[in-house]
């Protein structure tokens, strides 16, 4: 099936309904210029539907989705408040979008258990959406969620399903490129470097063709991450510093660049980047990255093991809650080594054991069910 969206509306609002449907198609297709033009038209007419709660909710949902596509790094804890101010939708179409977009929001701010539940609720309603391309969009975002929680194989599987559908439809080349970019990330996590580079190159070719700088920088950031994961720090820094110059609020790129500078012994540069990243995360209330930056700051400042322990344990408590065992393993291993270097063998032994348990849980979680 092609592009088909239906929404419940009261009589007399057919024009706004059609505009909202068209707007979502442009948002979903990542055609930013077209989406922006439609938003301006809709915003000039939206006052005329004040009595239609369904359409106002639909508008609020799409406005969240639009802001996410424009700048997902500015999504904060309060970004979904306008949607939450409405009563829970009873209409299946609106309920689907509500749960789907709530999953996107929760995943972005690091509330992964809420995201998981929201995506599961949306999936139950997916059959009510007679639009194959919407199914592809859903698989793509669920694949992104699996990547965020360190389930590389599941991510690869879901995003490949999405890519297959998008590739069958003319006009969805940008979506195919987004899938290639995300498959590249999944391959990076799975340590399939050559395959990752191949997918990133495909995505980059498409984004350069349409000359969309925001998308080009996204791939450059991911190439930086790929080099960082291989401990090719100078190469990673080259890519990431360009991204951070052009996107100063990109807390994920700031974190990776800071970490690579620390590895290279550039502690004062790392310190500045950590301070910038921490400040951005405070602004958007991103709990996950606040913990990452606090721990990195302690590592970069060469804190005594006991001071480092306090910071790591604060983070571990959050990571356990969100089942992010990979981070627990990484940070507890670093902590164990710090205690070992200080000849505190009891604590070193405790954390080496604890991180090995977290590693087992991470492998278990990664397995395809």
State the pLDDT at residue 367: 75
1-130: in CATH 3.40.50.300? no
CB 268 within 8 A of CB 309: no
Rounded distance between C-alpha atoms, residue 369 and residue 155, angstroms: 13
State the pLDDT at residue 7: 54
CB 66 within 8 A of CB 29: no
Q: Which residues contact 333 (CB under 8 A, 6 or more apart)?
A: 351, 352, 355
State the pLDDT at residue 184: 99
- Three-state secondary structure call for residue 73: helix
The mean pLDDT of 232-246, rounded to a whole number, is 98
Rounded distance between C-alpha atoms, residue 339 and residue 347, angstroms: 6
Mean pLDDT of the chain: 94
Provide the H-helix boundaries in 190-266: 193-210, 213-229, 233-246, 251-263
In the block, which residue shows the tokens 């063998």? 345
The mean pLDDT of 57-64, rounded to a whole number, is 96
Structure tokens at 245: 């110059």
6 pLDDT above the threshold of 70: no
The mean pLDDT of 364-369, rounded to a whole number, is 74
CA 138 to chain centre: 14
Rounded distance between C-alpha atoms, residue 278 and residue 22, angstroms: 38
From residue 13, alpha-carbon distances to 92, 200, 222, 243, 293 in Å are 19, 43, 43, 43, 48
State the pLDDT at residue 229: 97
CB 202 within 8 A of CB 177: yes
State the pLDDT at residue 51: 78
Instruction: Indicate the burial class of 302 (C-beta count within 10 angstroms; 0-12, 13-18, 19 or more).
Output: exposed
109 pLDDT above the threshold of 60: yes
The residue among 3 and 316 whose pLDDT is bigger is 316
Domain ranges of the chain: 1-130, 150-211
State the pLDDT at residue 12: 59
Percent of the chain with pLDDT over 90: 89
175 pLDDT above the threshold of 50: yes
The mean pLDDT of 274-290, rounded to a whole number, is 97
Percent of the chain with pLDDT over 70: 96
State the pLDDT at residue 226: 98
The mean pLDDT of 28-37, rounded to a whole number, is 95
């Amino acid at each position: 099936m092609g592009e088909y969206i239906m929404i419940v509306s009261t009589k007399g609002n057919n024009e706004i309904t059609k505009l909202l449907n068209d707007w979502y198609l442009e948002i979903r297709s990542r055609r930013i210029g077209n989406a922006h033009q439609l938003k301006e038209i809709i915003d000039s007419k939206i006052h005329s539907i004040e009595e239609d709660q369904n359409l106002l909710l639909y508008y609020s949902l799409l406005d969240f989705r639009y802001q996410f596509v424009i700048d997902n790094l500015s999504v904060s804890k309060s970004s979904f408040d306008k949607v939450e101010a409405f009563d829970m939708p009873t209409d299946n179409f609106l309920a689907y979008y509500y749960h789907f977009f709530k999953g996107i929001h929760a995943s972005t701010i690091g509330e992964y258990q809420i995201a998981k539940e929201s995506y599961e609720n949306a999936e139950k309603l997916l059959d009510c959406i007679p639009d194959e391309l919407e199914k592809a969009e859903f698989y793509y975002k669920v694949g992104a969620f699996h990547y965020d929680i360190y389930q590389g194989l599941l991510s690869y599987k879901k995003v490949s399903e999405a890519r297959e559908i998008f590739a069958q439809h003319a006009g969805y080349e940008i979506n195919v490129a987004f899938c290639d970019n995300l498959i590249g990330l999944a391959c990076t996590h799975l340590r399939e470097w050559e395959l990752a580079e191949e997918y990133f190159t495909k995505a980059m070719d498409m984004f350069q063709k349409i000359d969309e700088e925001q998308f080009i920088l996204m791939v450059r950031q991911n190439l930086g991450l790929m080099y960082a994961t291989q401990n090719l720090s100078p190469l990673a820094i080259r890519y990431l510093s360009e991204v951070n110059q052009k996107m100063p609020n990109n807390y994920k790129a700031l974190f990776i660049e800071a970490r690579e500078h620390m590895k290279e012994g550039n502690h004062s540069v790392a310190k500045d980047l950590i301070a910038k990243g921490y400040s951005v995360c405070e602004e958007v209330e991103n709990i996950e990255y606040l913990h990452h930056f606090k721990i990195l700051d302690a590592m970069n400042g060469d804190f005594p093991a006991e001071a480092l322990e306090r910071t790591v344990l604060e983070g571990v408590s959050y990571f356990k809650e969100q089942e992010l065992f990979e981070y627990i393993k990484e940070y507890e291993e670093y902590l164990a080594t710090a205690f070992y270097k200080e000849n505190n063998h009891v604590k070193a032994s405790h954390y080496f054991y604890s991180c090995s348990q977290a590693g087992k849980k991470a492998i278990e979680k990664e397995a395809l069910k």
